[in-house]
Structure 1
Amino acid sequence: MKKLPVLIMAATALSLSACKKIDDVGEQSALPDIAAPELSVETMKSITEELSSDAYEGRAPGTPGEEKTLALLTKKFAEAGLEPGNGDSWLQDVPLVGITAKNMTPLKISGGTSDLSFNYGSDYVVASYQEQPKIDLADSDMVFVGYGINAPERGWNDYDGVDVKGKTVVVLVNDPDFGTESLEGEFGGRAMTYYGRWTYKYEEAARQGAAATLIIHDTDPAAYGWNVVESSWTGEQFYPQSANGGADQTKLNGWIQKDAAAKIFAAAGQDLTAQMAAAKKKGFKAIDLKQKASASLENDIKKTDSKNVVGILKGKTRPDEYVIYTAHWDHLGRCKPAPDGDDICNGAVDNATGTAALVALAEAYAKAGAPDRSVIFLAVTAEESGLLGSKYYADNPIYPLSQTVGGVNMDAFGMAGPAKNVIVVGKGKSGLDRYLEAALTVDGRVAKAEPTPEKGYYYRSDHFSFAKLGVPMIYFEGGEDLVDGGREAGEALAKDYTENRYHGPKDEYDPNWDWTGVMGDLKVYYTVGRMLAMTEDWPNWNEGDEFRAARDKSRAGS
């Protein structure tokens, strides 16, 4: 058992008031001395294997796989020594609607130099957010709106001067700065902003009154290949229940292959490559493609209350202050079959590993005894559907967000072996960085910023639901600079996972996995959270960060 060195300040300077609001520069106290215990690799192995077995059918919300998952997690949380986190219940209802599209027609494009037809799955995918049994998109005028961004604070509006009500908008993935080398630019340079996420594209198109949205798929700016899009959009899709049944949403949202989009542009007398370049410049004007889109599908609609699983270890001296660990338990369920016919997306790495980590951490926390602050262990549903479970908790918190000091998110532990570093998604955003850096000194490792900020990972996992409401959250992953093989080996293994297993049927448990790197990272997760649970500080977002104002407002009223 190793000890984390104390970062010294005089003991008299540590007598901070319990009513301290948030940290300011120069007012940070010493970090507590934390003993990182041995965590159970057997817990990690057994729960990961169980959750990713075919018996759980890919853990889609609203399925028997969910029922099995809930039963396992509540049992393991109780055995670990936690208490139910929602009154007398381990569960928090998350009202969802599941929509399964069927009988999809080809996408027909008319009015250009030639009529075009594209097949569902291989050429395009769509789904509807509207709770309607039949969706018809008939002769909808098509408009190319560049990146589909309306950002008044940046003086950027791709919808300026164009009325897209009832029309089909064609948009680019990512944001205009994609491909630049630096982090300077209209949209953060190479780092993706939320304006670059596909979820934003659909949200803004709906606000503009569009009938449908088609994002042009391009592997580099999307950060994944068409195989991921196709498998992720296959089968039942989940959305939050709404009073109007999604009537304020577009009829259809989806993706189209870049080659297919090039044919549409050519039939409109336009060059896709040239228009993609034009869309990167401020002042871009939307282009009427002078063509009409038609497609239809039928929907099977099922309303369900999926569940977040919540356990708590109550603090011994400040139980009304909270530290939170999050991981999503869900995956894609049944998806596009692999060549061998396997149609279960088991989600072993993503995210049976992170879910198992919640249990392993809970065991270690309970065994070590309650820290000063309470610690919440939250396994959320429907992350794969757009962070729906974490968003629901953040919007309807069981424990006040103003009293939630901060937290740690865990999403997919890589099985590449031990690394010399960890990768921080969103490094430099908050005061939690110093907790991580201190925890890493035990093993002589370092925290590195994500090498591909253009992929927008910050907006693709559950920490984002809390961050945008002001709660400081840190999200880090095992590094790619491996002890055995260095960066070249790490990058090769990461690429292999993305291309061959991520969001596909082959993300399966392997009894030959090397868990040494995972367990080293898990100790870091423990140490960061435990330090946060033992300090009196209230870490904040750094000055100028997009989430700082929300935190300041939240804490000012506490």
Structure 2
Amino acid sequence: MRLLSLTVVPALILSGCTQINETDNGSAFPEIAAPELSVETMKSITEELSSDAYEGRAPGTAGEEKATKLISEKFAAAGLAPGNGESWFQDVPLVGITAKNMTPLTISGGATDLSFAYGNEYVAASYREQPKVAVAESDVVFVGYGITAPERGWNDYAGVDVKGKTVLILVNDPDFGTQSLEGEFGGRAMTYYGRWTYKYEEAARQGAAAAIIIHDTDPAAYGWNVVESSWTGEQFYAQSANGGADQTKLNGWIQKDAAAKVFAAAGQDLTAQMAAAKKKGFKAVDLKLKASASLENDIKKTDSKNVVGILKGKTRPDEYVIYTAHWDHLGRCKPAADGDDICNGAVDNATGTAALVALAEAYVKAGAPDRSVIFLAVTAEESGLLGSKYYAENPIYPLSQTVGGVNMDAFAMAGPAKNVVVVGKGKSQLDGYLEAALKDDGRVAEAEPTPEKGFYYRSDHFSFAKLGVPMIYFEGGEDLVDGGREAGEAVSKDYTDNRYHGPKDEYDPDWDWTGVMGDLKIYYTVGRMLAMTEEWPNWNEGDEFRATRDKSRAGN
């Protein structure tokens, strides 16, 4: 039967069943009764976690202690068991580095000496655990998109030695701006080579002293305000045996207008060089300039925490389905005009954390499924998916026995939609489970409209995917019941421009939760299907993660 209209505010989503369809292996999808999902749980936990008392939930702070304590208590109250032996927690060793006494970035040796102010023109941080870091009179080289991809016949570092030098790098990848999904780097869809994390990793492998990405709003998918708020204040990294000695001294960003001045000082045109960098065979350009910058670091090592709860399966308890959401946010950040400096992270991702609890309640009320279900609230997503990466590399439950999972990151407060948006649609057989779950709602699953923004590499499912575990990540769509796509796009733009990674991502008692609760029902149904089927869904043939999964499963 169909759900009641989502235009009516429900206290609970009422019962129904998914329509039975066939999996890729020909067996039927399990018939799942629609759960009882408490909107009050969603509201109360979202409001609590995003209150000023939690100070933005940065790892290693009093806000973390409060958040992880609350989540573990809510998991226990829902009826889950501790997920790490007798503990609710998995320690995640991090180092927090707070930059101070930052000098301007100075550029010399050209037609004009330049100086760029920290914060509004450039930002930088060091991954090295050193009290002071300096780059002095470092040669400046433009390396295009900073990509080394031998399987694609692409090497932006070919023929140039950047050891000890400062590299300027373009954001995204060379196919950005194309309309199709065909090209050297997947056309319009960003590859991992387009992510800023990759660019710093590759610069370090090449021996660069500093790596600075040229910020451009469209290919970055966010404005400078997001860069500034995200890169100022304490930054978290995974602890390493060498204290980050194999990393560049400085990683950072520079405003595009400022970068244009750097190129002009070298007698070069940034726009022309950006066009050249899109073509295979691009050669890095020595700008014949020198860069200097320094900063001091306050260093703090800490064990942050993933929160783990489990509902043991009835018949196959050693097979696992996993739900993930990150509990952390940015803590204190650049103040808004009214002086508010707490990045509360209500939508991102107090909503997803609340969803873990609401789902746990529903699972326990419905009774244990055949397979075990893990509820994992991870730390340090905002610092580069560090909590999920740590769990995936140090799993409490074997990844080879983890059937698949669902990631939840930032529920849209836009009202009910006619669609859901799948980030990475077409990558795995989990798409079939989602489509089956949507049938009774009359909704459709659509591919993300902006694959160039690289959302697939920006949330915690990626940590599991790259180690082979099929994960699905979808969100409420923008084709709204009330107002259609135009209204949905307006809501999304307003959030990105005015709240995302800023102090105004705050709880609003007037939010319309009907769309959220409809989406939550789908999250439940997809996960419950996985927990009740005997199938082992895989990545589709030809997908980048298929071989890793096949190798993992071969030993079972």
Q: TM-score range by the shorter chain?
A: over 0.9
Aligned residue type for 1:343: D
Provide the rounded CA distance (Å) in 1 between the counterparts of 2:17 and 2:467.
Answer: 31
Name the residue aligned to 2:300: 302
Provide the rounded CA distance (Å) in 1 between the counterparts of 2:338 and 2:485.
Answer: 32
Find the partner of 2:528 among 527, 530, 541.
530
1:4 and 2:13 aligned: no
Paired residue total: 543
User: Secondary structure of the residue that 1:441 maps to in structure 2?
Assistant: helix
Name the residue aligned to 1:269: 267
Question: Is the CA contact (8 Å cut-off) linking 2:18 and 2:33 kept in structure 1?
Answer: no
User: Secondary structure of the residue that 1:442 maps to in structure 2?
Assistant: helix
Name the residue aligned to 1:163: 161
Name the residue aligned to 1:176: 174
Provide the rounded CA distance (Å) in 1 between the counterparts of 2:49 and 2:21.
Answer: 43
Find the partner of 1:260 among 252, 258, 261.
258
1:345 and 2:343 aligned: yes
User: Secondary structure of the residue that 2:268 maps to in structure 1?
Assistant: coil
Report deviation, 1:510.
0.3
Query: For residues 253 and 8 of structure 1, do their structure 2 counterparts lie closer, same or farther at Cα, with a shift above 3 Å needed?
Result: closer
Name the residue aligned to 2:368: 370
* CA offsets 1:405-443 (integer angstroms, 9 cap, x no match): 000000000100000000000000000001000111111
Find the partner of 1:141 among 122, 128, 139.
139
Find the partner of 1:401 among 399, 402, 406.
399
Q: How does 1:207-218 map to 2 (within 5 A)?
A: 207-218=205-216
* CA offsets 1:298-325 (integer angstroms, 9 cap, x no match): 0000000000000000000000000000
Name the residue aligned to 1:423: 421
Provide the rounded CA distance (Å) in 1 between the counterparts of 2:158 and 2:182.
Answer: 25
Question: Is the CA contact (8 Å cut-off) linking 2:104 and 2:117 kept in structure 1?
Answer: yes
Q: Cα RMSD over matched residues?
A: 0.8
Question: Is the CA contact (8 Å cut-off) linking 2:21 and 2:436 kept in structure 1?
Answer: no
Report deviation, 1:6.
4.1
Question: Is the CA contact (8 Å cut-off) linking 2:18 and 2:34 kept in structure 1?
Answer: no
* CA offsets 1:204-260 (integer angstroms, 9 cap, x no match): 000000000000000000000000000001100000000000000000000000000
Report deviation, 1:481.
0.2
Question: Is the CA contact (8 Å cut-off) linking 1:58 and 1:346 kept in structure 2?
Answer: yes
Provide the rounded CA distance (Å) in 2 between the counterparts of 1:107 and 1:448.
Answer: 44
Q: How does 1:103-142 map to 2 (within 5 A)?
A: 103-142=101-140
Name the residue aligned to 2:186: 188
Question: Is the CA contact (8 Å cut-off) linking 1:6 and 1:30 kept in structure 2?
Answer: no
Matched-pair identity in %:
87
Aligned residue type for 2:160: V
Name the residue aligned to 1:461: 459
Provide the rounded CA distance (Å) in 1 between the counterparts of 2:442 and 2:112.
Answer: 63
Q: How does 1:512-531 map to 2 (within 5 A)?
A: 512-531=510-529
* CA offsets 1:157-190 (integer angstroms, 9 cap, x no match): 0000000000000000000000000000000000
Aligned residue type for 1:477: E
Q: TM-score, normalised by structure 2?
A: 0.97
Report deviation, 1:530.
0.2
Question: Is the CA contact (8 Å cut-off) linking 2:419 and 2:446 kept in structure 1?
Answer: yes
Q: How does 1:1-80 map to 2 (within 5 A)?
A: 1-7=14-20, 27-80=25-78
* CA offsets 1:346-395 (integer angstroms, 9 cap, x no match): 00000000000000000000000000000000000000000000000000
Name the residue aligned to 1:329: 327
Name the residue aligned to 1:98: 96
Provide the rounded CA distance (Å) in 2 between the counterparts of 1:144 and 1:69.
Answer: 43
Report deviation, 1:3.
3.0
Report deviation, 1:8.
5.4
Provide the rounded CA distance (Å) in 2 between the counterparts of 1:503 and 1:177.
Answer: 27
Report deviation, 1:143.
0.2
Question: Is the CA contact (8 Å cut-off) linking 1:3 and 1:33 kept in structure 2?
Answer: no
User: Secondary structure of the residue that 1:290 maps to in structure 2?
Assistant: strand
User: Secondary structure of the residue that 1:417 maps to in structure 2?
Assistant: coil
Question: Is the CA contact (8 Å cut-off) linking 2:317 and 2:371 kept in structure 1?
Answer: yes
User: Secondary structure of the residue that 2:504 maps to in structure 1?
Assistant: coil
Report deviation, 1:29.
1.4
Structure 1 alignment gaps of length 5 or more: 10-22
Provide the rounded CA distance (Å) in 2 between the counterparts of 1:424 and 1:81.
Answer: 30
Aligned residue type for 1:318: R
User: Secondary structure of the residue that 1:3 maps to in structure 2?
Assistant: coil
* CA offsets 1:261-299 (integer angstroms, 9 cap, x no match): 000000001000000000000000000000000000000
Find the partner of 1:293 among 291, 294, 299.
291
User: Secondary structure of the residue that 1:192 maps to in structure 2?
Assistant: coil
Aligned residue type for 1:3: G
Aligned residue type for 1:263: K
Of 229-238 and 28-37, deviating more is 28-37
Provide the rounded CA distance (Å) in 2 between the counterparts of 1:284 and 1:101.
Answer: 35
Aligned residue type for 1:302: K
Structure 2 alignment gaps of length 5 or more: 1-13
Provide the rounded CA distance (Å) in 2 between the counterparts of 1:274 and 1:196.
Answer: 20
Aligned residue type for 2:437: A
Question: Is the CA contact (8 Å cut-off) linking 1:4 and 1:439 kept in structure 2?
Answer: no
Report deviation, 1:28.
3.6
Report deviation, 1:27.
2.1
Name the residue aligned to 1:18: none
Provide the rounded CA distance (Å) in 2 between the counterparts of 1:206 and 1:250.
Answer: 5
Q: TM-score, normalised by structure 1?
A: 0.97
Name the residue aligned to 1:385: 383
Provide the rounded CA distance (Å) in 2 between the counterparts of 1:28 and 1:504.
Answer: 47
Question: Is the CA contact (8 Å cut-off) linking 2:107 and 2:292 kept in structure 1?
Answer: yes
Report deviation, 1:4.
2.9
Provide the rounded CA distance (Å) in 1 between the counterparts of 2:425 and 2:522.
Answer: 16
Question: Is the CA contact (8 Å cut-off) linking 1:467 and 1:547 kept in structure 2?
Answer: yes
Query: For residues 291 and 512 of structure 1, do their structure 2 counterparts lie closer, same or farther at Cα, with a shift above 3 Å needed?
Result: same
Name the residue aligned to 1:475: 473
Report deviation, 1:5.
4.1
Query: For residues 27 and 344 of structure 1, do their structure 2 counterparts lie closer, same or farther at Cα, with a shift above 3 Å needed?
Result: same
Name the residue aligned to 1:20: none
Aligned residue type for 2:370: D
Question: Is the CA contact (8 Å cut-off) linking 1:195 and 1:201 kept in structure 2?
Answer: yes
Q: How does 1:351-362 map to 2 (within 5 A)?
A: 351-362=349-360
